[in-house]
Structure 1
């Protein structure tokens, strides 16, 4: 995940998705990249306001960045395939900044969107803030989940979160599931979690401690949750989805490796007020 990709506010030749970078907090060096389908900016067929996806990148909490070519390409694809505005915030990484630093930065990014939606021209003209989803892949799925918990049951007018899309979310636990046996845990959690915590901390294991009560907050918020999972973590993904459903959350599962874009688009657009 080396290298970086520049934003493209005025692409030449024209690109299907335009992007620009925004500083969120100078003191923390946190920032955010906005992606908008070109047709929305150009007043074409898609000139109506589009749902907003706040997307958190992967990297095991210790690496990765918004401008990594892989994650930049993913955001372009999401904006294009699902026809949404994407806001991809940076967040501080471990071991220099252990959790909950990443969650705090995610919360601050969402609040920046809320507070600056009338000042930023792209958000004002293109983003439907009444239909917002938090999404992330890998460690970013964990961040999306925990940032979502901070806003569950809160009023964020004019911004309204409608749900979470957790793409292979990075969760763990002290007891290994069958699918995890024989696989190396790519995340060394001792570098990410608060000092003295093990993998059964609620940041890494949403099934323990306050985790089940947190899921009830999601239910009371009326959010939809999509869990996309597989590989070594599929048992953990299934258990998280199962407990969410037991708590009354509207959950969609995608564990068969199928292309999830159509399902994600369906959830997002069916959630419009």
Structure 2
């Protein structure tokens, strides 16, 4: 009988890493295909951005046959999963993004970036930036016909919200190929050494997960996980006009998300920051129970944020 493999790191329910390099992901591996026409009136398709990066595109089906051709707000979306699990092709994300596309009347590029530990950070950041550059290049027919480059938004939840922030910071640098109308950060995966008593109870698991995602990091005050760190680029350089930070009251990441919002407002950044908090809900509740009243209200708030970005 073959001897059991020796476990190097076990972080249930997300990931198990063995000493021989094998990685098991108990969650987030089930996927579903795109749809020519979904129940909410959305068409989707899968595209290859590069040999390493792919995405699922979503568009209101009616826009494909509209005359004259309609230009739509365009959202580049980054899924969550602590940088180690998750996929835009999962039932959770596929259903959520279909609904967002329908309600916001938006074209959405839902990005499949490479995951740690096989591809540690900054791989996810680089893949995500490549997806943004591909989006604004309009090389896909749907994008060429329907993407409104004057209404580009970035959005994501958890680790995807972390990515969204990092991409907005890149967009703020000189020579960026994109001009962002706004970004949406849902339950952002930010951390740091300034922990409350409640956060201290979760610090071991967060630290372990961060070590898996970024083994070369100096720790939890790394600017990639703590945008308020002394060594982080100034928040005033954030390259967008508007920010919506979405918090959940019983989410262990709530305090860091709130601190980010406050630091951004005090940074000298010239944009407008908004925050919305759902007091009685936990992390990523809007994905796990998409039909609940609070998830519906949060979706409405995000849609309003996108819609109020104006028209070209």
If you compute each CA radius of gyration, which structure gives the higher value, 1 or 2?
2
Aligned match for 1:208, one of 222, 229, 232 = 229
Change in CA separation of 1:16 and 1:180 when aligned onto 2, cut-off 3 Å: same
Count of aligned positions? 262
Distance in 2 of aligned mates of 1:77 and 1:112: 24
Distance in 1 of aligned mates of 2:170 and 2:299: 26
Q: Which consecutive aligned stretches of 4+ in structure 1 deviate over 6 angstroms post-superposition?
A: none
Structure 2 equivalent of residue 7 of structure 1: 34
Contact 2:243/2:274, CA 8 A, preserved across alignment: yes
Structure 1 equivalent of residue 121 of structure 2: 99
Q: Bigger relative contact order, structure 1 or 2, given CA contacts below 8 A and separation 6+?
A: 1
1:69-88 equivalences under 5 Å are 69-88=91-110
SS in 2 for 1:199: coil
Cα displacement string for residues 36-66 of structure 1 (whole angstroms, at most 9, x for unaligned residues): 011212328x962110010000111011112
SS in 1 for 2:84: coil
Aligned match for 1:162, one of 169, 177, 181 = 181
Structure 1 equivalent of residue 212 of structure 2: 191
Contact 1:98/1:194, CA 8 A, preserved across alignment: yes
TM-score by length of 2: 0.77
Aligned match for 2:64, one of 25, 35, 41 = 41
Where do 5+ consecutive residues of structure 1 fail to align? none
Distance in 2 of aligned mates of 1:155 and 1:205: 25
Distance in 2 of aligned mates of 1:77 and 1:93: 25
Distance in 2 of aligned mates of 1:256 and 1:15: 25
- Alpha carbon RMSD of aligned pairs, Å? 2.2
Change in CA separation of 1:22 and 1:223 when aligned onto 2, cut-off 3 Å: same
Where do 5+ consecutive residues of structure 2 fail to align? 1-27, 280-293
Structure 2 equivalent of residue 217 of structure 1: 237
Contact 1:162/1:222, CA 8 A, preserved across alignment: yes
Structure 2 equivalent of residue 260 of structure 1: 298
Distance in 1 of aligned mates of 2:146 and 2:217: 45
Do residues 171 (structure 1) and 190 (structure 2) align? yes
Change in CA separation of 1:155 and 1:82 when aligned onto 2, cut-off 3 Å: farther
Structure 1 equivalent of residue 4 of structure 2: none
